[in-house]
């Protein structure tokens, strides 16, 4: 399938900037220098979603969306700096910012290192089993993740379907103030602005229930912060080393974990520092049995998928991207066999700035009421804020979803 006309069409529509992480003098740049394009697999020409696009000298970056698109706004004085494009499993590309053509096509070459000798040479410690690699990575968390307080700025996107029909689309900007790894707790949260909050016709079951806060629903599932899951290398988890993959200018172990009958995981671990670079965790009901009991309101979770990716900044690993995707079956009550409907929430958090110095002078106001949903705390739409705030570009599918929701609510 030739996707290039779609890419060109969307780019020319001027969709907003995707993810930008790390320290920027200001998220609102008055006269940015902009590069744009899409990232493809060199062999198949398929788009590469969530590829990292960042400025090497200043640790400013963005990411492609699910269609491989990117639009990257750089400071005006960075035109001669090097931009790095990277994806786990592919050779990175380095290119001067001022050498990008409009709608630049970037093709990355996949590189998969076979096991055997690579397992020995990729690590300074020889003969490690997959489980030993995971346990070492777990022991190195205190060295690889920040102990001091820091702030992450970012963007949350929340999409909900009921019985296959989209009923909600929410976008907001937020600041998260973490106490540091030594204190396992949820961050303090500032809700900055809400961009989109389209609510369609939901099932009547929702009417008397305050929907869970999207931001809190995401941050409470951080495996590194709250010390649980497949990262510990304990309990019933079994591990297998699948491959050694290139990433940036190093290598990562790709390890598959299984905890029967409900859980599987894929862990990407830096072969030199043993930092967790990416964690994928899936829980799925088996033969009608779920890993959780049905909730008192009749909701039964039958599928859960968590993806967490981290980015190195000044020697420490910070959250870069997080996705949580669920499937629920909603029954009449906790003991009822009457299925009312199926619900499929999908939440994503994109980090676009890290602040780890002079936090006392950095503007932050804890204002989020975690007992209320985001849409019930929204202020009036602020067009000036969103004009320069770095967010993921909408895909063609997302644009269609928003239009359909808007048409149904007008």
What is the rounded end-to-end Cα distance, in angstroms, of the chain? 36
The C-alpha atoms of residue 80 and residue 57 are separated, in whole angstroms, by 10
* Beta carbons of 248 and 86 less than 8 angstroms apart: yes
Q: Which residues of the chain does CATH 2.60.40.1120 include? A: 4-108
Instruction: Name residue 350's beta-bridge partners.
Output: 155, 321
Fold classified for 4-108: Immunoglobulin-like (2.60.40)
What's the confidence (pLDDT) of residue 109?
Answer: 93
Share of residues in the chain with pLDDT > 90 (%) = 49
The per-residue pLDDT for range 36-92, each reduced to its tens digit, is 899 999 999 999 998 888 888 766 777 788 899 988 888 888 889 999 898 999 989
Tokens 């967010």 label which residue? 391
The C-alpha atoms of residue 362 and residue 355 are separated, in whole angstroms, by 8
Contacts of 315 (CB under 8 A, 6+ apart): none
* Beta carbons of 328 and 299 less than 8 angstroms apart: yes
Q: What is the DSSP letter of 15?
A: P
**Residue among 104, 86, 97, 26 nearest 55 (CA):** 97
> CA–CA distance from 1 to each of 70, 106, 287 (Å)?
20, 18, 36
Enter the tokens of residue 356.
């780890």
Contacts of 139 (CB under 8 A, 6+ apart): none
What's the confidence (pLDDT) of residue 59?
Answer: 63
What's the confidence (pLDDT) of residue 76?
Answer: 83
Task: Specify the pairing of strand 165-178 against strand 188-199.
Answer: antiparallel
Give the containing element (helix H, strand E) for 385. Answer: helix 383-388
Gyration radius (Cα) of the chain, Å: 22
**Within 13 Å of residue 302, how many CA atoms lie on the same side as its CB?**
16
Q: Residue 27's pLDDT band (boundaries 50, 70, 90)?
A: very low
Share of residues in the chain with pLDDT > 70 (%) = 87
Helix and strand element counts for the chain (H, E): 8, 17
What's the confidence (pLDDT) of residue 410?
Answer: 60
pTM exceeding the 0.75 threshold for the entire prediction: yes
Mean pLDDT, the chain, as a whole number? 84
- Of 76-85, 120-129, 170-179, 289-298, the poorest mean pLDDT is in 120-129
What's the confidence (pLDDT) of residue 13?
Answer: 39
- Of 46-55, 122-131, 315-324, the poorest mean pLDDT is in 122-131
Q: Does the pLDDT of residue 367 top 90, yes or no?
A: yes
* Beta carbons of 277 and 309 less than 8 angstroms apart: yes
Q: Does the pLDDT of residue 144 top 50, yes or no?
A: yes
Buried b (16+ CB within 10 A) or exposed e, 44-82: eeebbebbbbbbeebbbbbbbbebbbbbbbbbeebeebe
What's the confidence (pLDDT) of residue 409?
Answer: 62
The per-residue pLDDT for range 238-291, each reduced to its tens digit, is 999 999 998 888 899 999 999 999 999 999 999 999 999 999 999 999 887 888
Other beta carbons within 10 angstroms of residue 296's beta carbon come to 9
The per-residue pLDDT for range 206-222, each reduced to its tens digit, is 887 767 788 998 999 99
What's the confidence (pLDDT) of residue 399?
Answer: 82
* Beta carbons of 243 and 110 less than 8 angstroms apart: no
Q: Residue 295's pLDDT band (boundaries 50, 70, 90)?
A: confident
């Amino acid at each position: 399938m030739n996707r290039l006309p779609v890419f060109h069409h969307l780019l020319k529509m001027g969709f907003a900037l995707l993810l930008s992480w790390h320290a920027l003098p200001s998220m609102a740049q008055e006269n940015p220098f902009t590069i744009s394009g899409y990232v493809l697999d060199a062999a198949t020409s398929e788009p590469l979603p969530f590829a990292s696009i960042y400025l090497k000298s200043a640790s400013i970056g963005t990411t492609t969306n699910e269609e491989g698109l990117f639009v990257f706004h750089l400071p005006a004085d960075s035109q001669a700096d090097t931009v790095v494009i990277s994806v786990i499993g592919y050779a990175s590309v380095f290119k001067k910012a001022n050498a990008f053509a409009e709608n630049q096509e970037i093709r990355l070459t996949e590189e998969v290192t076979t096991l055997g000798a690579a397992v020995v040479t990729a690590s300074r410690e020889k003969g490690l089993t997959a489980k030993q690699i995971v346990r070492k990575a777990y022991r190195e968390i205190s060295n690889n993740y920040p102990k001091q307080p820091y702030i992450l700025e970012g963007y949350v996107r929340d999409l909900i379907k009921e019985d296959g029909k989209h009923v909600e689309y929410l976008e907001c900007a937020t600041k998260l103030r973490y106490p540091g790894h030594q204190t396992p707790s949820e961050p303090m949260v500032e809700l900055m602005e809400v961009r989109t909050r389209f609510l369609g016709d939901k099932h009547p079951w929702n009417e008397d229930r305050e929907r869970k806060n999207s931001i809190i629903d995401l941050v409470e599932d951080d495996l590194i912060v709250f010390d649980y899951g497949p990262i510990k290398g304990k309990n019933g988890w079994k591990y297998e080393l699948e491959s050694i993959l290139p990433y940036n200018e190093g290598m990562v172990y790709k390890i598959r974990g299984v905890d029967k009958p409900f859980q599987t995981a894929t862990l990407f671990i830096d072969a030199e520092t043993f930092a967790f670079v990416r964690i994928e965790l899936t829980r799925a009901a088996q033969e009608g049995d779920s890993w959780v009991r049905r909730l008192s309101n009749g909701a039964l979770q039958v599928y859960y998928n968590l993806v967490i990716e981290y980015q190195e900044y000044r020697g420490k690993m910070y959250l870069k991207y997080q996705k949580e995707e669920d499937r629920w079956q909603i029954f009449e009550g906790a003991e009822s066999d009457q299925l009312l409907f199926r619900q499929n929430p999908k939440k994503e958090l994109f980090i676009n700035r890290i602040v780890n110095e002079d936090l006392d002078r950095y503007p932050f106001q804890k204002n989020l009421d975690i007992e209320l949903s985001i849409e019930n705390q929204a202020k009036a739409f602020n067009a000036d804020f969103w004009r320069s705030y770095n967010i993921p570009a909408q895909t063609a599918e997302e644009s269609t979803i928003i239009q359909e929701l808007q048409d149904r609510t007008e």
